[in-house]
């Protein structure tokens, strides 16, 4: 049987502190550095304990949402019973998101990302030193997602269509489903309408005006945006070799199909009410409701969960940005001496490797190119030499 490939152990250049050497003062490989969760004595969570915490978190969040629905709809006075299945689905969504998020951050790497990311996100010191950094990162990283443009401009544009379409749809449907938004006729027969939030009048508009058309067709606009973006990704998943090789039906294709079904059935509801005088409306309404409920329940356990994870990554970007502004020492590669990143960021990466008990946290001190070279040399020395 062929031996598994070995990797060369990184050796520090002369003058570098050797891990584990008492004279060097450097911590041994695998030893927690000061400030690490492991150094603070935080015990690793067992799967059973993580599930219990997740169940408790999901239950608390679900109860809070139910109370918000009851009181936000003025003790259900403004709640539309026809939208009850949607409201129930959002409660399951809240439970699922809280459960999955709690389980996710119970893992060592995710827990470190959570603490560092959200710690930087809500840091008063960061706000004082760089007050505009956080708004800029929210706009560019969460809103316009410029990091996607470096991969492909077409993928960035399609992702933007889906993002803003879903955001517009959520901003309209969730408050309506919970009874927070109401539209009432100010004259009894129209065309004047009032939009109220929690019973308070926000704006009055004419249903036949441009504002009225936008109010009543906002979901149609969102559906068109989502169909365009999802159709591109679906086409790419059928044509791109790289995408086809690694894709999974339930994880990669089902979310796109669900978005298209929701959007198409929503547009067909409008088409039925305007051009068919309500023909087939009941069937389309049930089909639309089933697709929406399925998607809401699917969100915490599928590809859409990255929506919930992404804000913590913004905090990590802020952590890197503020470290550079503080003129922190920039570590260089131990092999080629090219700059890697700031010392706090590299130490955080090494801490993550220690948390995962990987046993090679020194590799964080090498640049990506040198890592590839060392792995290649290890392959030539320990594997390739056996084939002569």
Higher pLDDT, 189 or 76: 76
Decide if pLDDT at 21 tops 50: no
114-140: per-residue pLDDT in tens? 777 777 777 777 777 778 877 888 888
pLDDT of 342: 76
CA-to-CA separations, 36 to 68, 115, 138, 161, 343, in angstroms, rounded? 38, 11, 27, 40, 14
- Rounded to whole angstroms, how far apart are CA atoms 255 and 235? 14
Alpha-carbon distance of 262 to 244, in angstroms, equals 24
CA atoms of 26 and 334, how far apart (whole Å): 15
Going by pLDDT thresholds of 50, 70 and 90, the confidence category of residue 12 is: very low
Q: What is the pLDDT of residue 87?
A: 94
pLDDT tens digits for range 28-49: 444 444 444 444 344 556 788 8
Give the chain's largest Cα–Cα span.
91
Structure confidence at residue 264 as a pLDDT band (50, 70, 90):
very high
Instruction: Name which residue leads in pLDDT, 347 or 269.
Output: 269
Task: State pLDDT tens for residues 86-115.
Answer: 999 999 999 999 999 999 888 877 787 777
pLDDT(366) > 50: yes
Structure pTM?
A: 0.74
**Cis amide linkage into residue 191, ω under 30° from 0:** yes
Average pLDDT over residues 134-150: 82
Look at 371 and 36; give whichever has higher pLDDT.
371
Angstrom distance (rounded) from CA 298 to CA 177: 18
- Which helix (H) or strand (E) segment holds residue 280: the answer is none
State pLDDT tens for residues 266-299.
999 999 998 998 889 999 999 999 999 999 999 9
Indicate if the pLDDT at residue 196 is higher than 90: no
Among 61-65, 169-173, 329-333, the range scoring the smallest mean pLDDT is 329-333
pLDDT band of residue 386 (cuts 50, 70, 90) is low
Residue with tokens 């039925």: 272
- Band (pLDDT 50/70/90 cuts) for residue 189 is low
DSSP letter (8 states) at residue 384:
G
Count of H-run helices and E-run strands, the chain? 15, 5
Work out the percent of the chain whose per-residue pLDDT is above 90: 33
pLDDT band at 1 (very low <50, low <70, confident <90, very high): very low
Mean local confidence (pLDDT), 311-334: 74
Q: Give CA 144 to chain center in angstroms.
A: 14
**Best mean pLDDT range from 157-161, 344-348, 359-363, 380-384:** 157-161
Answer yes or no: is pLDDT of 165 > 90.
yes
Q: What is the mean pLDDT of the segment spanning 56-64? A: 96
pLDDT in tens, 199-231: 888 888 887 888 888 888 999 999 999 999 999
* pLDDT value for 331: 83
Q: Confirm if 298 and 304 have CB atoms less than 8 A apart.
A: yes
CA distances from residue 174 to 140, 164, 169, 179, 292 in whole angstroms, order as listed:
25, 15, 8, 9, 12
Provide the 3-class DSSP secondary structure of residue 204. Answer: strand
Which residue(s) pair with 330 in the sheet? 342
Contact 277, 326 (CB under 8 A): no
What rounded mean pLDDT belongs to the chain? 81
Rounded Cα distance between 230 and 305, Å, is: 17
Return the number of other C-beta atoms located less than 10 Å from residue 117's C-beta. 22
Assess whether pLDDT exceeds 60 at residue 7: no
Q: What is the pLDDT of residue 16?
A: 44
């Amino acid at each position: 049987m062929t031996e598994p490939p070995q990797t060369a152990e990184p050796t520090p250049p002369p003058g570098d502190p050797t891990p584990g050497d008492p004279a060097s003062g450097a911590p041994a490989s695998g030893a927690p550095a000061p400030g690490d969760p492991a150094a603070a004595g935080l015990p690793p969570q067992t799967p059973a304990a993580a599930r219990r915490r997740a169940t408790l978190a999901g239950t608390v969040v679900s109860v809070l949402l139910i109370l918000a629905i009851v009181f936000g709809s003025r003790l259900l006075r403004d709640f539309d019973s026809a939208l009850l299945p949607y409201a129930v689905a959002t409660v399951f969504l809240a439970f699922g998101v809280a459960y999955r998020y709690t389980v996710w951050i119970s893992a060592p790497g995710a827990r470190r990302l959570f603490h560092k990311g959200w710690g930087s996100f809500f840091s008063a010191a960061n706000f004082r030193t760089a007050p505009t950094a956080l708004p800029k990162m929210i706009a560019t990283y969460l809103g316009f997602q410029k990091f996607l443009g470096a991969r492909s401009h077409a993928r960035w544009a399609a992702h933007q269509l889906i993002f803003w379409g879903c955001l517009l749809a959520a901003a309209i449907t969730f408050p309506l489903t919970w009874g927070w938004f109401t539209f009432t006729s100010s004259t009894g027969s129209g065309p004047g309408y009032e939009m109220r939030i929690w019973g308070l009048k926000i704006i009055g508009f004419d249903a036949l005006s441009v504002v009225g058309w936008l109010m009543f067709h906002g979901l149609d606009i969102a559906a068109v945006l989502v169909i365009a973006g999802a159709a591109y990704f679906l086409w790419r998943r059928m044509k791109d070799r790289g995408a086809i090789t690694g894709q999974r039906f339930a994880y990669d294709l089902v979310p796109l199909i669900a978005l298209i079904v929701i959007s198409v059935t929503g547009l067909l509801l409008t088409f039925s009410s305007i051009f068919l005088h309500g023909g087939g409306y009941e069937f389309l309404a049930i089909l639309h409701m089933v697709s929406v409920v399925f998607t809401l329940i699917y969100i915490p356990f599928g590809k859409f969960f990255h929506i919930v994870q992404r804000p913590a990554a913004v905090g990590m970007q802020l952590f890197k940005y503020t470290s550079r502004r503080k003129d922190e020492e920039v570590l260089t590669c131990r092999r080629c001496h090219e700059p890697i990143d700031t010392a706090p960021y590299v130490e955080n990466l090494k801490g993550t490797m220690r948390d995962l008990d990987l046993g090679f946290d020194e590799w964080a001190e090498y640049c990506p190119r040198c890592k590839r070279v060392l792995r290649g040399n290890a392959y030539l020395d320990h594997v390739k030499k056996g084939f002569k």
